[in-house]
Structure 1
Amino acid sequence: MRYYVLDRGDQLSQDLSRSFHELAGAQGLKLDAESPDIVVSIGGDGTMLHAFHTFIDRASSIAFVGVHTGHLGFYADWKADEIPELVQLMSGQKDRRQLNPRIVHYPLLEVEVIKKSGTSSFICLNEFTLKSVDGGTIVAQVDINDQMFEMFRGDGICVSTPSGSTAYNKSLGGAMVHPSIEAMQISEIASINNRVFRTMGSALVLPKHHHCDIYSRKEQNLMLTIDHINTPVNDLISVRCQVAEQKISFVRYRPFPFWNRVRNAFLG
């Protein structure tokens, strides 16, 4: 079993990372930064986002597992004091039946950004957001399946994956969507609704075979955010969002249902 560890960088996470390496070495696991079978994230959900984007070019052949150092996360479901057990399960020493653990696959979001200066493609684990750089309102035409849907005016637009629906999307009033559903969700950020400007005012859930296009409809300095990565853009033409063919894989050595994560995170 080849593995790699990516930690948050704080003292606790670094200490846990060193402990993980010592235990893994004793169990015969091989550290491999180039082609690991499993990438272990130690920190929180933000660390998992970083781990995913670090290995995004090889994500189709990698499974991820998260260890949290604070509150239980949606991507980090092992506690710090459970690292010895996790290492044993990864090595197969704790229970031979765990040599073939369950692998779950979560949908991702594909984003194509078209600018006057060129075209770029990205993959999101959580969400894509479009806002103004200076905090003002933006004007954007939203098309669904090549048909105009609305002319948006407001603070911004968020397009999320099912797993990302519990993050920024939830704070915008969007629905929480189970990751087994291959879909994306469009949520408005402080839209303007009056006698002159009208927007839907509620989140939209689109299935895998649909796509949406967001067109910039005035000269505006915009901030595009792919998960935790911010990119300022002043020559945006359009953004196309759709459910990606690629998925992220998480290794499950024990059951932890999605709705249990939701309950633990928001209801205590």
Structure 2
Amino acid sequence: MVQRNQLYFFYLKDDETDAKVDALGKIAEDNGFEIASHPNNASIIVSVGGDGTFLQAVRKSGFRQDAIYVGITRTGESGLYCDFDLDNFDEMLHSLMHEELEVRRFPVIKARINDGTEYHCLNEVSIRSTIVKTIVIDVLIDDVYFETFRGDGLIVSTPTGSTGYNKSAYGAVIDPLIASYQVSEVASLNNNQYRTLGSSFVLSKDRKLTLNVQPTGNDHPIISLDNEAHPITKISSLEVDMDETVIKTVKLKNNSFWDRVRRTFL
């Protein structure tokens, strides 16, 4: 049985971060917490780094539904998933012990490649061309044909992922309280012969999206799951939908998603 006061630290190892995490561990133990040697034994998984490290912590620990994730940034870093930094670790522990944190639940998308294994994504799943040639994708919504996309690729993002790759492709920023996902184009080809919607669109969590890759000579597109490339080289279809899976994170009071967006972009 996982105890509530078990902490696991996830970070990219180097001498400097090792020393800092060791110091954090001692502070945690002094405050009544125990340090777990494996994320499966922890009730609180702490990532030390930026948003990329947080995404890796969630993915490597298997999108735990019975754990809380906490993001801590290092000096000079910032992150939309990280409420704390190394300098206010004591404040984080105090908040955990006295329940001064608010738990938020970030919706997650589920991707199925070639009708096979399912993968969860906290940020986005993207499918892109790997050669100097457009990729052609038939887009279906709830198994009904919607359009044929020609261009560099498509991004399917969660609300929290909407501030990342999706935003750079001129997609909208979506409030995480809205259980939905967004489809954005990357360099679509639009002319008298080829036509797509030409803008991002948002789907309800109850919709299913199917992307069927057409064989046009670019038969080896790349699929990225959050910040990891998928190893499959022959990809014919990608299905995306949402279930009840969420990632539980904690935030300081008076530090909403939109507070973070303002600090990051404005």
TM-score by length of 2: 0.92
Which amino acid letter does the alignment assign opposite residue 111 of structure 2? Answer: V
1: distance between equivalents of 2:195 and 2:99?
A: 57
Which amino acid letter does the alignment assign opposite residue 239 of structure 1? Answer: L
Instruction: Please name the residue that 2:224 is paired with.
Output: 225
1: distance between equivalents of 2:83 and 2:111?
A: 28
Kindly state the Cα deviation for residue 255 of structure 1 after the two structures are TM-superposed.
Answer: 3.2
Q: Percent identity among equivalent residues?
A: 32
Kindly state the Cα deviation for residue 15 of structure 1 after the two structures are TM-superposed.
Answer: 2.9
Give 1:145's match in structure 2, choosing from 142, 147, 158.
142
Instruction: Please name the residue that 1:213 is paired with.
Output: 210
2: distance between equivalents of 1:15 and 1:183?
A: 40
Kindly state the Cα deviation for residue 10 of structure 1 after the two structures are TM-superposed.
Answer: 4.2
Does the Cα contact within 8 Å between 1:213 and 1:238 map onto a contact in 2?
A: yes
2: distance between equivalents of 1:254 and 1:16?
A: 26
Structure 1 segment 108-119 matched on structure 2, within 5 A: 108-114=108-114, 119=116
Does the Cα contact within 8 Å between 1:222 and 1:232 map onto a contact in 2?
A: no
Instruction: Please name the residue that 2:78 is paired with.
Output: 72
Q: Comparing both structures, which one devotes a greater share of its residues to strand?
A: 1
Kindly state the Cα deviation for residue 265 of structure 1 after the two structures are TM-superposed.
Answer: 0.3
TM-score by length of 1: 0.91
Give 1:162's match in structure 2, choosing from 154, 159, 164.
159
1: distance between equivalents of 2:134 and 2:72?
A: 39
Aligned residues: 257
Kindly state the Cα deviation for residue 71 of structure 1 after the two structures are TM-superposed.
Answer: 3.0
Could you say what the CA RMSD is over the residues aligned between the two structures, in angstroms?
1.6
- Residue 127 of structure 2 corresponds to residue 130 of structure 1: yes
1: distance between equivalents of 2:201 and 2:233?
A: 27
Larger mean Cα displacement after TM superposition, 127-136 or 149-158: 127-136
Does the Cα contact within 8 Å between 2:209 and 2:241 map onto a contact in 1?
A: yes
2: distance between equivalents of 1:97 and 1:132?
A: 47
Instruction: Please name the residue that 1:7 is paired with.
Output: 11
Which structure 1 residue ranges, 5 or more long, are not aligned?
none
Closer/same/farther in 2, CA of residues 206 and 81 from structure 1, 3 Å limit: same
Which amino acid letter does the alignment assign opposite residue 258 of structure 2? Answer: W
2: distance between equivalents of 1:10 and 1:135?
A: 37
Which structure 2 residue ranges, 5 or more long, are not aligned?
none
